[in-house]
């Protein structure tokens, strides 16, 4: 087995999972370190330096480039989508990455189509 190098360390397990699945789509083998520990107690994340995303040394350069692309388009940067529920008229707000998806209205429980 080739040597693993850490190409990113992130605070949230969800973010590490996103990076992992994206890298896997590019055909890279990805390992997470300390993710189980942090999933149990995310306060530990700071203490251990976050979830480490690791790849084989030969893939490190490609992986770093992909991670850079992911971090450039963080979902948090997308402006939120605001619209009214078609059933109860409640003003709803969802994160930008939910665009074009289906969500549940927290007030009346109806499914709502999030506009593009």
Can you give the binding site for Zn ion, defined by CB under 5 A? Answer: 85, 87-88, 90, 105, 107-108, 110
Minimum Å gap between C-beta 96 and Zn ion is: 20
In the complex with Zn ion, the residue whose CB is nearer, 46 or 110, is 110
Nearer to Zn ion, 75 or 109 (CB): 109
| Beta-bridge partners for 10 | 51
Burial class (CB in 10 A: 0-12, 13-18, 19+), 59: buried
Least distance between Zn ion and beta carbon 114 (Å): 13
Please tell me the distance from the alpha carbon of residue 1 to that of residue 56, in angstroms, as a whole number.
9
Nearer to Zn ion (CB atom), residue 40 or residue 88:
88
Token look-up 């549940």 returns: 104
């Amino acid at each position: 087995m080739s040597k693993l190098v850490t190409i990113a360390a992130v605070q949230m397990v969800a973010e590490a999972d996103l990076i992992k699945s994206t890298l896997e789509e590019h055909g890279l083998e990805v390992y997470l370190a300390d993710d189980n520990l942090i999933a149990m107690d995310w306060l530990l994340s700071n203490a251990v330096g976050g979830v480490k995303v690791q790849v084989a040394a030969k893939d490190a350069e490609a992986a770093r480039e992909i991670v850079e692309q992911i971090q450039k388009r963080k979902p948090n940067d997308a402006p939120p989508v605001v619209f009214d529920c078609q059933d109860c008229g409640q003003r709803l707000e969802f994160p930008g990455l939910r665009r074009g998806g289906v969500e549940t209205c927290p007030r009346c429980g109806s499914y709502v189509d999030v506009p593009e």
